[in-house]
Structure 1
Amino acid sequence: MAAEAPHIDLNAQPGHAIRRLHQIAVGIFLQETAAHGITPVQYAALQAVHNEPGLDQRSLAGRIAQDTSTTAGVVERLQARGWLRREPDPADRRVRRLTLTEAGRALLAQVVPDMQRAQARILAPLDAAEQVQFMALLQRLVQHNNAHSRAPAEPRRRGGAAARVRQSRP
């Protein structure tokens, strides 16, 4: 006879609460950015490329903690919308360097205030000190458990992609 599973309160489980918070965060982000028709992952990709112009697609996947095939689809959609450009690396034609187009830079400038409003709404139930504490604890959990992810985030290297491109040129 099989043992009966115990009664477990899902709401007391951190994984369940984190999944719910993720659903809520995505919902709030989509509400705040509805006028732009952009997803949280697309925003992350645009922001990462803005932060490191010339980033290659594999490195982008690491920066935004997405698998490379998902990132390839995101990049294709952003390029199709005219927000991102893929150009061959002069030092290695197999590598594609990513940069924002003028339209991509303009969109990002418009989206940032909406994204910031979404972040404020997510944290609004907490007072200022609790927000700082929550973010510190959340970052600790993410950093400590990063290696357990299907797509671990890769930290930004010193000097960024543009410095690597300059270093690789004769």
Structure 2
Amino acid sequence: MAGHLIRRLHQHSTQVFAARTKDAGFEITPVQFAALDAINDSPGIDQAGVAERIAYDRATIGEVINRLVAKGLVERAINDTDRRARVLRLTADGVETFEALLPVVSDLQAAILANLPARDRAAFLSLARSAVGNL
């Protein structure tokens, strides 16, 4: 069934990500990397914005951000227009880490789909994008 296969592919993807990033000297999860990517693309974004951009639960994104702050990769500041909100930016270490991770994460994408012939990978990605749609 589709759900079972998607779950197995997700497990494989997470395992490949963890192994490759660890081998490169990083301790980061796929969700943490996605958050870094969102913050890098939109400096000053708030936690809710990060959750929306990476399709992650708003109730638990705070823990992801807390871990990135604890690692010294992200900094929080009070939003000038809404004092209740916190804006996020990558620290200098965060920028350096993100830039060092980009080629690692790029390279591991092929490993995730290694069981597919190269000609089928683009088709798979296109179909996956269609299946996800506007979820």
Taking structure 2 as the reference length, what is the TM-score of the superposition?
0.94
Q: In the alignment, what sits opposite 1:22?
A: 10
> What is the CA distance between 1:69 and its match in structure 2?
2.1
Q: In the alignment, what sits opposite 1:46?
A: 36
2:133 aligned counterpart, secondary structure: helix
1:1-170, aligned counterparts within 5 Å? 13-34=1-22, 35-143=25-133, 146=135
Count of paired positions = 133
Q: Which runs of 4+ in 1 moved over 3 A?
A: none
1:27, 1:49 → 2: CA distance? Answer: 24
2:78 aligned counterpart, secondary structure: strand
1:97 aligned counterpart, secondary structure: strand
> What is the CA distance between 1:16 and its match in structure 2?
0.1
1:118, 1:21 → 2: CA distance? Answer: 14
1:70, 1:110 → 2: CA distance? Answer: 26
2:12, 2:93 → 1: CA distance? Answer: 29
Tell which has more relative contact order, 1 or 2 (C-alpha 8 A, sep 6+).
1
Mean Cα displacement is larger for which, 83-92 or 116-125? 116-125
2:114, 2:41 → 1: CA distance? Answer: 27
The percent of aligned pairs where both chains have the same amino acid is 41
Which whole-Å deviations, capped at 9, do the CAs of 1:33-83 have from their partners, x for residues lacking one?
Answer: 002000000000001100111111111111111111210000011001100
Q: Which runs of 5+ in 2 are unaligned?
A: none
1:36 aligned counterpart, secondary structure: coil
Taking structure 1 as the reference length, what is the TM-score of the superposition?
0.75
| Higher Rg | 1
2:116, 2:5 → 1: CA distance? Answer: 16
CA RMSD in angstroms comes to 1.1
1:129, 1:28 → 2: CA distance? Answer: 21
